[in-house]
Chain A
Amino acid sequence: MRKAERSLGVVFFPAFDWAISPTHPEREERLLYTQDQLHEEGLFDVEGVREYKPDVAERTDVERTHFCFPDVDAVTTRSHLVSAGGAIRAARLVMEKQAERAFAMVRPPGHHAMKCVRGARGFCNVNMEAIMIDWLREHYGLRRIAIVDTDCHHGDGTQDVFWHDPDVLFISLHQDGRTLFPGTGFPIESGGPAARGRTINIPLPPGTGDEGVLMVIRELVMPLLEDFGPELIINSAGQDNHYTDPITNMNVSAQGYAELNSILNPDIAVLEGGYAIQGALPYVNLGICLAMAGMDYSMVHEPDYRAESLRQDPRITSYVEELCRQMPRVYHNPPESPQSAEHGMRDGDWWVRNKSIFYDTGGFQETQKESALLCDNCRGVLQIESQVGSVRCLGVEVPLDACPACQNRGHAIVEQAQLKSAFRYVQLIDRVNKQYSRFGF
């Protein structure tokens, strides 16, 4: 009888009846070969490893996290609610102690979905990890959570959702934004005024392989996690750093991914991108499952794996070494960000940034003005004014543990906005009173 060292719940949901479009990378076929591989390996017959069905997220679960304009139904399909529900189920498995570790192998992905959602960007509509974390906090009162995003693309959505949150440490490893979508994720992006140093971006040069990524995890990420002391570690497990991925330029193998998870030892992993669906995903997903369950993964290899052809360029190695030396400063002693409209600047009591966000999947541009109240007693109320075309919308968030003044302020802003009717849609997220409401048609 094969036995797992740590029990692992796998929420496997390949959504075999959903695609963005028939030939889009995010299509029905994406997890087909992964399913074949996991079933052929008999993974779910291993004692301690079980397959679970996802929950279906409620509209409230989305509205707790995102400002959705015009509303949740307009920017999501059932597949997004199932995928978010899959992440919630994974969290539930761990919290209810049905499994020590959980992997939500669900699609579509979510890490490019930002706080304010007007449509789809980077194949993402809503943010699965963020919805899961806010659900966890509301239902289990968790506070300090770390997310390590190992997708090849910068997790700009997750970064945006937790930008002002000092209790979430967001670390993203990705191919350098100068060479890949979404073009962000530089060390200077380190968090809002109340959460400086809680966003850590680690851009890696194209061609980085197992050696470089594992070096970053071992020497940079692990010490930061140790210092931060999270109650839960979450891996945004994108698999597009793989050497065969069609839309990126990295050189990581299934072995590398498995070892990464073995070192990182996340409580929960949530699948993100990864589009080498035949040559990479079956092996990478298997490797991650085995590593999370504490089982031997040394025999998991891609059929075309040749270690020598994936050897990392020494120049990359020395660049990564330098990154590991420099980056802890961003966490321990974050530099003042430059005062500019783009990076944010003080405007009276508010910290204001202007953003222009391109929805590549939807093909439109959103302009945003994000204002966070500089409050001495709490994180401060947050408001986002969003405009696409001529449609202006307003989202107001009273964050967790907001002080009474900020709670009142948040409700007052919403009231004012309704009186002035300058906005087509207004949404209020009041995390203190667990009140999620929307106005406008």
Chain B
Amino acid sequence: MYLGIDVGGTHTDAVALDISGPGVEVVSACKVKTHPQNLLASVNEALERILKGVDRNKVKRLNLSTTLSTNAIVEGRIEDVGVLVIPGPGMDPTEYMLCRDFHVLDGAMDHRGNETARLDKAQCARAIAACRANGVNTFAAVGKFSVRNPLHENTLRHMLCGSRDDADCHRADFVTLGHHLGGRLNFPRRAATAYFNCAVWRLYNEFADAVEKSLQALGLGHVRVNVLKADGGTMPLAVSRRMPVQSIFSGPAASVMGIIALCEIVHDSVILDIGGTTTDIAVFADGSPLLERAGIAIGSHPTLVRALRVKSIGVGGDSALSMIGDTVRVGPRRLGPSMAEGGRHPTLTDALNYLEYCAVGDVQTSRRGVTEFAEAHTISADKFAEQAVQAAAGTIHEETRALIAEINDQPVYTIHELIEGKRIVPRKLYLMGGPAEALQKPLFSRFQLASEAPEHFAVANAVGAALTRTTTDVELFADTQKHVMFLPGLGHHENIPGSYSLEDAKRDAMNHLLARLADLKLSSDADRAEITHASSFNMVEGMHTTGRNMRVKCQIKPGVERTLG
């Protein structure tokens, strides 16, 4: 038995799935209100409801998607962090000053990881003391190019923790080092990600403690708990305690994974999750969801948190209808709920009711509301409703086209990719959310693509959460001239011979990824491991090759364990 819970902004959705047979059975599902101030209560309530009549001993796993970290950041319920950055030469680091205790330290690494200026330890000690004097005891230490050489970050950790042992940090509550966030190059994002990771760390761990305690109380102490990430994967609860920032914005990912679980997606496709306020658009290439190029942004701060690429637009069932001149517009304002559900202004749902595309709530009120609004704007009610639905479908279509154009226009760096690279051409449309079925026909006439609105889509997000697999990724950087190989996310470096080849690098990266899976007790996912990038450049000085510069990335592909289809 697998459980999935998606704590959203307004609702908490939960399912219990029976996986004892060859397929998946939805045993129970529920939707309860989210209590923003007490997410644990929502989780407990949802658990109680779906576990009615279920043998708790058979429950193996609980996957949880929560807005805890996101909300904490949005509402400013985060703690002060000491941010120590070592920017070296380049752009002005004070342009992205993240918080009060932000200290810029001397020292520099270049792009190959050569130390070009040393840390000034006295200056570091002064910065740390200044943070502590402000009562700050969680720290983010981030250096430019630390993913090529973590020396400065490690030195700072030693000074902050009072120990060189990774497990021991008796002088600070928590420290995040930039290179532990992965190998991608982007110093400002690394600094912001490390900062947010520290800022929500305490709150998140208190929540994790509480969840574990209440699972014990519910007789679910034996259950493995995973937490959803925004990239369409999960991480074990223990891992999330050190990387709470990875739990942000997992809601849209849960929905996308849900549709994968409900439908067999193999082609380039578009997924439209049409909700009350917004429509979320996601794009699949050959059946796999696309990721954001660099990472998701928290407020105005771009981060390194990997996330599925989802575009939200202001068209939904509760979007207000209005007229500008002769044109009927839908949204982006939400004046919901619809009149059918007791609202005071006609919305898209009312227009759909009027045209008998659906029958939500009180259809008569919708008819009256649409008619009155149309009369007041000297237009026939039929025409008004029809144009409103057309406008909604038209906006969704335009925005989807723009998103696909943007994806196809993404920079590439080789002639091969530029000329022969894949272009996304959607072949199918998947629809979910309240007004999805009602909009199926108008959307078809715009997109001219076969569309499908799967069953169970009301709790697709919870189904997605329940079935999502654990993902993890590893990046390797090797420089045979300097005889070093480094995996920043794992903090692992090794000496390598001059003869080290790209094949060696790929093998090592894979081995480290598989070893990490074994640590997470997930060796069975080994067949989902793949290399996503491998490049090797000859480094030449004068007319002689002095070594090779290699980069390898591999990952466990996001996916679901089984599908209901």
How far apart sit A29 and B537, CA to CA, in the bound complex (Å)? 6
Question: Interface with B: A34-42, A112-120, A143-151, A209-217, which one?
Answer: A34-42
A45 touches B411 (CB 8 A): no
Counting CB contacts under 8 A, is A203 at the interface? no
User: Of all chain B residues, which has the CB nearest A45?
Assistant: B302
Counting CB contacts under 8 A, is B116 at the interface? yes
Give the residue of B90, B412, B415, B419 whose beta carbon is less than 8 angstroms from that of A299.
B90
Contacts of B117 in A (CB 8 A): 303
Tally of contact residues, B, Cβ under 8 A:
45
How far apart sit A304 and B110, CA to CA, in the bound complex (Å)? 11
Give the residue of B112, B301, B545 whose beta carbon is less than 8 angstroms from that of A22.
B545
B110 touches A303 (CB 8 A): yes
Closest CB in chain B relative to A197 CB, distance in Å: 40
Q: Which residue, B96, B542, B545, has most C-beta atoms of chain A within 10 A?
A: B96
Contacts of A36 in B (CB 8 A): 111, 145, 185
- 6 sampled A-B residue pairs with Cβ under 8 A: A1-B300, A41-B90, A41-B188, A42-B189, A53-B418, A290-B91
Counting CB contacts under 8 A, is A265 at the interface? no
Contacts of A295 in B (CB 8 A): 91
A13 touches B413 (CB 8 A): yes
Bitwise, A289-315 to B at CB < 8 A (1) or not (0) is 010000110111111100000000000
How far apart sit A286 and B111, CA to CA, in the bound complex (Å)? 13
How far apart sit A359 and B141, CA to CA, in the bound complex (Å)? 53
Closest CB in chain B relative to A78 CB, distance in Å: 5
Counting CB contacts under 8 A, is A28 at the interface? yes
Give the residue of A12, A22, A29 whose beta carbon is less than 8 angstroms from that of B411.
A12
User: Of all chain B residues, which has the CB nearest A29?
Assistant: B537
User: Of all chain B residues, which has the CB nearest A47?
Assistant: B300
Give the residue of B111, B144, B294, B419 whose beta carbon is less than 8 angstroms from that of A45.
B294
How far apart sit A356 and B116, CA to CA, in the bound complex (Å)? 48
B90 touches A37 (CB 8 A): yes
B89 touches A301 (CB 8 A): yes
Closest CB in chain A relative to B123 CB, distance in Å: 17
How far apart sit A17 and B537, CA to CA, in the bound complex (Å)? 10
CB contact under 8 A between A40 and B185, given known A2-B96, A16-B535: yes
How far apart sit A33 and B145, CA to CA, in the bound complex (Å)? 12
Counting CB contacts under 8 A, is A14 at the interface? yes
How far apart sit A33 and B416, CA to CA, in the bound complex (Å)? 20
Counting CB contacts under 8 A, is A103 at the interface? no
Contacts of A54 in B (CB 8 A): 418
A283 touches B414 (CB 8 A): no
How far apart sit A20 and B111, CA to CA, in the bound complex (Å)? 25
Counting CB contacts under 8 A, is A353 at the interface? no
CB contact under 8 A between A18 and B415, given known A23-B543, A27-B540, A282-B111: yes
Counting CB contacts under 8 A, is B108 at the interface? yes
Contacts of B410 in A (CB 8 A): 53
Closest CB in chain A relative to B321 CB, distance in Å: 33
Contacts of B90 in A (CB 8 A): 37, 40-41, 286, 299-300
User: Of all chain B residues, which has the CB nearest A52?
Assistant: B411
B91 touches A299 (CB 8 A): yes
User: Of all chain B residues, which has the CB nearest A246?
Assistant: B542
Contacts of A296 in B (CB 8 A): 91-92, 95
Counting CB contacts under 8 A, is B26 at the interface? no
Counting CB contacts under 8 A, is A188 at the interface? no
CB contact under 8 A between A15 and B92, given known A29-B540, A42-B187, A53-B409: no
How far apart sit A87 and B111, CA to CA, in the bound complex (Å)? 27
Counting CB contacts under 8 A, is A82 at the interface? yes
A41 touches B544 (CB 8 A): no
Q: 6 shortest A-B CB distances, which residue pairs?
A: A303-B116, A42-B188, A1-B300, A36-B111, A17-B414, A40-B185
Contacts of A45 in B (CB 8 A): 186, 188-189, 294, 302
Counting CB contacts under 8 A, is A130 at the interface? no
Write the residues of chain B forming the contact surface with A, with a CB cutoff of 8 angstroms: 88-92, 95-96, 108, 110-112, 114, 116-117, 144-145, 185-189, 294, 300-302, 409-416, 418-419, 535, 537-540, 542-545, 549
How far apart sit A244 and B3, CA to CA, in the bound complex (Å)? 62
Contacts of B302 in A (CB 8 A): 42, 45
Q: Which residue, B92, B114, B301, has most C-beta atoms of chain A within 10 A?
A: B92
Besides A302-B89, A303-B108, 14 more A-B contacts (Cβ < 8 Å) are: A12-B411, A15-B413, A27-B540, A29-B549, A37-B90, A39-B186, A41-B91, A42-B91, A45-B188, A282-B111, A290-B91, A300-B89, A300-B91, A301-B89
How far apart sit A299 and B92, CA to CA, in the bound complex (Å)? 6
How far apart sit A159 and B112, CA to CA, in the bound complex (Å)? 38
User: Of all chain B residues, which has the CB nearest A39?
Assistant: B185
Contacts of B413 in A (CB 8 A): 12-16, 35
Counting CB contacts under 8 A, is A60 at the interface? no
B111 touches A51 (CB 8 A): no
A22 touches B538 (CB 8 A): yes
Contacts of A82 in B (CB 8 A): 415, 418-419
A283 touches B418 (CB 8 A): no
B186 touches A33 (CB 8 A): no
User: Of all chain A residues, which has the CB nearest B535?
Assistant: A16
User: Of all chain B residues, which has the CB nearest A298?
Assistant: B92
Closest CB in chain B relative to A275 CB, distance in Å: 10
Contacts of B411 in A (CB 8 A): 12-13, 51-53
Counting CB contacts under 8 A, is A225 at the interface? no
Give the residue of A22, A29, A52, A302 whose beta carbon is less than 8 angstroms from that of B409.
A52
Contacts of A18 in B (CB 8 A): 415
How far apart sit A44 and B419, CA to CA, in the bound complex (Å)? 23
Contacts of A78 in B (CB 8 A): 415, 419
How far apart sit A262 and B412, CA to CA, in the bound complex (Å)? 29
A303 touches B145 (CB 8 A): no
Counting CB contacts under 8 A, is A161 at the interface? no
How far apart sit A278 and B89, CA to CA, in the bound complex (Å)? 14
How far apart sit A17 and B294, CA to CA, in the bound complex (Å)? 23
B187 touches A41 (CB 8 A): yes
A33 touches B111 (CB 8 A): yes
Bitwise, A88-119 to B at CB < 8 A (1) or not (0) is 00000000000000000000000000000000
Counting CB contacts under 8 A, is A56 at the interface? yes
**Interface hits, A337-352 → B, CB 8 Å:** none
A79 touches B415 (CB 8 A): yes
Counting CB contacts under 8 A, is A43 at the interface? yes
Counting CB contacts under 8 A, is A316 at the interface? no
B538 touches A27 (CB 8 A): yes
CB contact under 8 A between A37 and B92, given known A17-B415, A29-B538, A45-B294: no
Contacts of B185 in A (CB 8 A): 36, 39-40
How far apart sit A308 and B374, CA to CA, in the bound complex (Å)? 77
Closest CB in chain A relative to B343 CB, distance in Å: 36
Contacts of A23 in B (CB 8 A): 538, 540, 543-545
Contacts of B189 in A (CB 8 A): 42, 45
How far apart sit A298 and B110, CA to CA, in the bound complex (Å)? 18
How far apart sit A296 and B538, CA to CA, in the bound complex (Å)? 34
B145 touches A40 (CB 8 A): yes
Contacts of A40 in B (CB 8 A): 90, 111, 144-145, 185-187
How far apart sit A387 and B536, CA to CA, in the bound complex (Å)? 42
Contacts of A1 in B (CB 8 A): 300-301
Counting CB contacts under 8 A, is A32 at the interface? yes
How far apart sit A419 and B116, CA to CA, in the bound complex (Å)? 68
How far apart sit A28 and B543, CA to CA, in the bound complex (Å)? 14
How far apart sit A26 and B543, CA to CA, in the bound complex (Å)? 12
Closest CB in chain B relative to A377 CB, distance in Å: 44
B91 touches A37 (CB 8 A): no
B418 touches A56 (CB 8 A): yes
Contacts of A301 in B (CB 8 A): 89
Closest CB in chain A relative to B481 CB, distance in Å: 11
